[in-house]
With several copies, the nearest count.
Chain A
Amino acid sequence: MTIFEISKEGRIGFQLPDNNIKDFEINLPEHLLRKSLPRLPQVSEVDVVRHYTNLSTKNYSVDVGFYPLGSCTMKYNPKVNEKVASFEEFSMIHPFQPHETVQGALKLMYDLKEMLCEITGMDDMTLIPSAGAHGELTGMLISRAYHLSRGDTKRTKVIVPDSAHGTNPASARMAGFDVIELKSGPDGRVDLNELEKVLDETVAVIMLTNPNTLGLFEKDILKIAQMAHEKGALLYYDGANLNAILGRTRPGDMGFDIVHLNLHKTFSTPHGMGGPGSGPVGVKKHLAKFLPIPEIVKTEDKYTLNYNKPESIGFIRSYFGNFSVMVRAYTYIKTMGKDGLKRVGEMAVLNANYLRVKVSKIMDIAYPGICMHEFVSTCEKLTKETGVKALDIAKRLLDYGIHAPTMYFPLIVHEDFMIEPTETESKDTLDKFAQILEKIFNEARENPELIKGAPYNTPVRRLDDVSASRKPVFKYNFEE
């Protein structure tokens, strides 16, 4: 039932204190005065509590179980981070308070930036971008500003591997670039020959993630960096997969010029049903002047904000980014420290490889051999044999109380699962996942229709998203 159906004319859920001020007449032209109130729900407090409590039970979350969504790094979100973010000294401050009254916030952001620079091997960083894709756009705009600042106006292209996240080409396009899709080599990595073919003086940036979306480390990364730089292009690092290399190597050390991070992946801020995230962008020294406005400046005795950056790409959103997400990431880094972060990387990679070996006994691994923090497997054979698709297996996993891996991505593998266990899962959980997967494969061979009809044990059964888009219903129909 929707909250609108619970609503009852005249019921209230809220009471306001008196401010002891008389009613002023509203001096607006009649036609600007609202005639009928918006049809918001009219409910009591208990109605609201029950509605949202019951909705919450219809969600799968990291707090209820394994969530091996490849590329999304669904690790455990520590509760102490939530507590810190709720301090009123962080949540109840206005962005335009005098700097003297927000030294704690400014110092936190400054220190976080410094820590993230150390972790990425970059020289400077902005915390403003609100999400990974926002960071990518910021990075592309910085690249654009950089080339233009050198009078280099011919660089209109960005090279993106065909295995890249969809946000990469979209972000490049939003920054006004044309996108060249780079075909992956047979080993799932960048094909240097292919790269050489497309890499010329019109290329502004090469966007990579390393390890890539197949969970494979680009072994030739130093060579790629050299090639890019020789041609005058910048090398961009999509930080979605940073978890894998924590404590071992850094984008800056590999030759990347720009990097974005996803604080809601690597640094364990919760995903919030899709956001808010935070996508800081780090750069090498030569690009620092292009970072967006404002910048946090540390002077001898205090922290301030600098809005006067003539070569900056400018504002990319209001205020300073998603501050309370930063607070959580800061808490996480302080908690983990250099030793803990190293352990994160190691155990994330260990988990992925262990699960890869387990899964390889059930379905094919797209690119066998040691992987990093995730791997891609395919059920193409099963599909040919039984008609059961990756989608069906995904839905059947839901019946067993496990969230499905990322499906049908990257696009270069078919009927695939992209599986990222993260470091916070135990061996027991991975074993259980493999057991269930095997059970489902057996079910699929014995009774494919069973799997095609899944899920059965979920709050709703398989939903029709085709007609949902064909005849879209965007909002509740009050006339129902």
Chain B
Amino acid sequence: MHRYIPHTEEEIKEMLKEIGINSIEDLYMDVPKTIEEYNLENGKDEFSVLKEIKSLSKLNKVFEPEKVFAGAGIYFHYIPTVVETLSNNQNFVTAYTPYQAEVSQGTLQALFEYQTMMCELTGMDVANSSMYDGATALAEAMLMAVRINNKTKILAAGSINPEFLATSKTYCTPQNIEIETVKWTESGTIDLEDLKSKIDDNTSAVVVGYPNFFGIVEDLKQIKEILPDNVVYIVVSEPIALSILEAPGKFGADIVVGEGQSLGITPNYGGPGIGFFTTLAKHVRKMPGRIIGETKDVDGKKGYVMILQTREQHIRRAKATSNICSNHALMALKNAIYMSVIGPEGLRKVARMSYNATHYLAEKLVEKGYNLTFNGPFFNEFVFNAGENYYEKWKTMANEGILGPLPLEKAMPNFKNSALACCTEVNTKESIDELLKHF
């Protein structure tokens, strides 16, 4: 007897009888028995399991959020309690893909509203209801660009998050799509000359960060100006930043993607976050992922359904725009609740506070004689030369309860002794001053 499996011995007997067999064994006549039992422990009660895993969890160190200066795609932000309370509602958590729309209006409406909010942030026409993460969203954006114009070369700023770029490469290579990186300038922005020189007739798309991996804000207008008409303009962005940065849609972006973890999702050791994916209405039939649309029921009452499913794998199979099936819907719900609670002014304040904290840290580091690597405008991250043996200093700080700016060397070997610093609204003057004592 098991608490998750309701069958009593009596019922099993009745069921076998109804089936017309004598034993459980008879159910497996087609199946070779290749194991007697797994080489695993026996099952346990929940208290023993809780105790065991609690003790395992204690091997992880939780930093006070205000003492975290690490970003690189995953950010510590204030998350209102209601986000957790409401998204933990088991009627959301234990539902599946809204295949039966009439009993899934909760899911569908929440996702429709999420899509609307993402369109508002990015200035685009249409959002899908989520991708796995920022990296796969970018990879799929590139594949989509190729579907749009049938060209096979992607020019990506070298300043894009390295894991995003590497993932894109993994996705593109088998389809014979080439990704070429574009240099950056001293300001940390894309090198327009290099970009210009690399654009050719086979260029499908250009990808830039807004802000990029170095925290630097690209000038989307300047870039757009040099793009030929049929090149797909892909912007990788950060949703919090978009409350103070002009929407990419205003600069003619064709696809805007990114990681949405910063909108009310805990860091979760990197996952699940959520990939957001937005584009223009004219491209929608090339778009991957699920889209929710508004419609009416037979009584004329407003309702929501999955739309344009003929793009998707379960109908289109090998000809689908993508293989994506399960997405990150629950994370989209968290995003939507977060944006509902925080509102437009709140989001801008989060961005403004993050900006201030980051610039305060940068100012003080410069005062102490540290050099910022780039002189372009940055949002809430920047790269600086952290000095010899920074990696050791970083580990020492961790022992003292500070998760310092990330050593960049591992992700980008050219950046020896450099660090990527990040502040958000959770970092206070006091915590920054404490960090600065180590410099």
Contact = CB atoms under 8 A, between A and B. Distances in A.
B343 A476 contact: no
Interface residues of B, number: 219
A317 B19 contact: no
A358 to B, nearest CB: 7
A21 B306 contact: no
A249 B28 CA distance: 10
B267 A92 contact: yes
Interface residues of A, number: 208
Interface string A214-229: 0011010010000000
Contacts of A58: 103-106, 109
B357 to A, nearest CB: 6
Contacts of A141: 170, 174
B38 A119 contact: yes
B59 A107 contact: yes
B136 A249 contact: no
B148 interface: no
Contacts of B84: 83
Interface in B309-359: 309-310, 312-320, 322-331, 333, 336-337, 339-350, 352-353, 355-357, 359
A321 B135 CA distance: 11
A45 B341 contact: yes
Contact of A350 (B27, B41, B96, B327): B27
Interface string B239-264: 00011111100000000000100000
Contacts of B19: 350, 353-354, 356-357, 370
A318 B133 contact: yes
Interface in A459-473: 459-465, 467-469, 472-473
A83 B348 CA distance: 27
B366 interface: no
Contacts of A144: 174
A337 interface: yes
Contacts of B110: 52, 55, 273
A292 B68 CA distance: 28
A274 B98 contact: yes
Nearest to A2: B113
A476 to B, nearest CB: 4
Contacts of B318: 169-170, 172-173, 179
A16 B6 contact: no
Contacts of B326: 130-133, 262, 264, 271, 274-277, 279
Contact of B5 (A33, A80, A344, A469): A344
A208 interface: no
B263 to A, nearest CB: 10
Contacts of A100: 395, 398
A340 interface: yes
B369 interface: no
A62 B243 CA distance: 33
Contacts of A8: 6, 8, 11
A314 B168 CA distance: 10
A91 B271 CA distance: 9
Contact of A44 (B5, B10, B34, B301): B5
A314 B170 contact: yes
A293 B135 CA distance: 14
Interface residue SS majority, chain A: loop
Interface stretch (B192-200, B381-389, B425-433): B425-433
B315 A166 contact: yes
Interface string A171-199: 11111110100000000000000000000
A346 B301 contact: no
Nearest to B38: A338
A42 B344 CA distance: 7
Contacts of B403: 94, 97
A11 B11 CA distance: 10
B1 A11 contact: yes
Interface in A388-435: 394-395, 398, 403-404, 406-407, 409, 423-427
Contacts of B167: 314-318
Given A11-B1, A170-B313, A468 B89 contact: no
Nearest to A339: B42
B143 to A, nearest CB: 8
Given A29-B219, A49-B82, A462 B298 contact: yes
Contact of A271 (B10, B95, B176, B333): B95
A13 B163 contact: no
B282 interface: no
Contact of B339 (A41, A74, A358): A41
Nearest to A67: B96
Question: Which of B15, B52, B353 has most A Cβ within 10 Å?
Answer: B15
B127 interface: yes
Contacts of B306: 465
A464 B297 contact: yes
B7 A19 contact: no
Interface string B265-278: 01111111100000
Nearest to B115: A475
Contacts of B337: 48, 52
A148 B109 CA distance: 46
B286 to A, nearest CB: 14
B44 interface: yes
Given A53-B86, A427-B6, 20 more contacts: A8-B6, A14-B346, A16-B45, A24-B363, A60-B103, A80-B80, A92-B62, A101-B60, A130-B326, A166-B312, A166-B316, A174-B143, A272-B328, A318-B133, A319-B73, A319-B133, A346-B27, A350-B7, A404-B99, A463-B296
What are the 6 tightest A-B residue pairs by CB atom distance, in nearest-first order?
A319-B270, A337-B43, A95-B270, A272-B330, A104-B59, A176-B174
